[in-house]
Chains A and B, each alone.
Chain A
Amino acid sequence: MTETIKIISIALILIGAFFSLVASIGVVRLPDVYTRNHAASKSATLGVISILLGTFLFFYVEGHQNTRLILAIVFLLMTSPVGGHMINRAAYYTGVKLWDKSARDDLKGKVKIKDTLL
């Protein structure tokens, strides 16, 4: 049983590292702020949560119940999407252009875009 849970925790940590790698590749490869932010906030959140869950399981088997890791998972689930939302919102309101192949822009003409130094 102990070995099974350890293998599960190894798998979770590897999945988390893989998702973090995917997030960083997405930030480099995608064309504009919005798609990059999409990659960073979603994929990196899942990656970090997966790593934390793997760590929790590993130490749980060893006999330590580290509730701070659970708290960190809940905290990340709540805050990371909001952080991504705020960055996207700030980018849109300061007039950052969408990718020229973007199909739709529902906010167009509905919000006042500030003139900035951009």
Chain B
Amino acid sequence: MKSSDVILQTTSKIVFFVILLFAIHLFFEGHYRPGGGFVGGLVTAGAIVLFLLAFDIKTVSILLPFDYKWVTAIGLLISILTAAGSIVFNVPFFTHTYDHFHLPLIGETSLHTAALFDLGVYLVVVGVTMTIIQTIGESE
């Protein structure tokens, strides 16, 4: 379509990874500081929208071959399974738990099941936002 967008395309190739890194950072620090699945998902969707602006919709669908409706479905499934997993241990629905683990390379970490629920929220937000934007963008 547009052939002379060299400056925008080159910049968006670099900036995409900066935004993606920031989105992951926001996602993982949501338990202790401002951030979380919702903001992280929106920032990730923003990075993909930057690619949609710089390139066209077909190039982006080759680059990131996801059906975003499936992403939404998988996110909902992860959230509901995290919530339902507490039933197995004979505690009320949505009871979360955490423990301290010693992982190789990373060291002492405390892992919480709320992060899995947040992962579901993240996938739902990315999926819904990208579905809306792609649906509006494709109709002519």
Q: Would B8 and A74 count as touching, CB distance under 8 A?
A: no
Q: Within the complex, which residue of A68, A79, A85, A86 is in contact with B15, where a contact is CB–CB below 8 Å? A: A79
Does more than half of chain B's interface fall in helix, strand or loop, or is it mixed? helix
Q: Which residues of B lie under 8 Å from residue A86 when comparing CB positions? A: 7-8
Compute the total of residue contacts between A and B using a CB distance below 8 Å: 20
Complexed CA–CA distance, A98 and B70 (Å): 50
Interface residues on B, range: under 10
Q: Would B7 and A85 count as touching, CB distance under 8 A?
A: yes
Q: Is A75 at the interface (CB under 8 A from chain B)?
A: yes
Q: Which residues of A lie under 8 Å from residue B11 when comparing CB positions? A: 78-79, 82
Complexed CA–CA distance, A82 and B21 (Å): 21
Q: Is A103 at the interface (CB under 8 A from chain B)?
A: no
Complexed CA–CA distance, A8 and B22 (Å): 28
Q: Which of A41-80 contact B (CB under 8 A)?
A: 68, 71, 74-75, 78-79
Complexed CA–CA distance, A70 and B18 (Å): 12
Q: Would A71 and B22 count as touching, CB distance under 8 A?
A: yes
Interface residues on A, range: under 10
Q: Which residues of A lie under 8 Å from residue B22 when comparing CB positions? A: 68, 71
Q: Which of B1-26 contact A (CB under 8 A)?
A: 7-8, 11, 14-15, 18, 21-22, 25
Complexed CA–CA distance, A79 and B22 (Å): 15
* Least Cβ–Cβ distance between B104 and chain A, in angstroms: 24
Q: Which residues of B lie under 8 Å from residue A78 when comparing CB positions? A: 11, 14-15, 18
Complexed CA–CA distance, A68 and B8 (Å): 24
Complexed CA–CA distance, A76 and B18 (Å): 11
Q: Which residues of A lie under 8 Å from residue B8 when comparing CB positions? A: 82, 86
Q: Would A75 and B18 count as touching, CB distance under 8 A?
A: yes
* Least Cβ–Cβ distance between A42 and chain B, in angstroms: 16
Chain A residues with CB under 8 Å of chain B are: 68, 71, 74-75, 78-79, 82, 85-86
Chain B residues with CB under 8 Å of chain A are: 7-8, 11, 14-15, 18, 21-22, 25
Top 8 nearest A-B pairs by Cβ distance? A82-B11, A75-B18, A85-B7, A82-B7, A78-B15, A79-B15, A86-B8, A78-B11
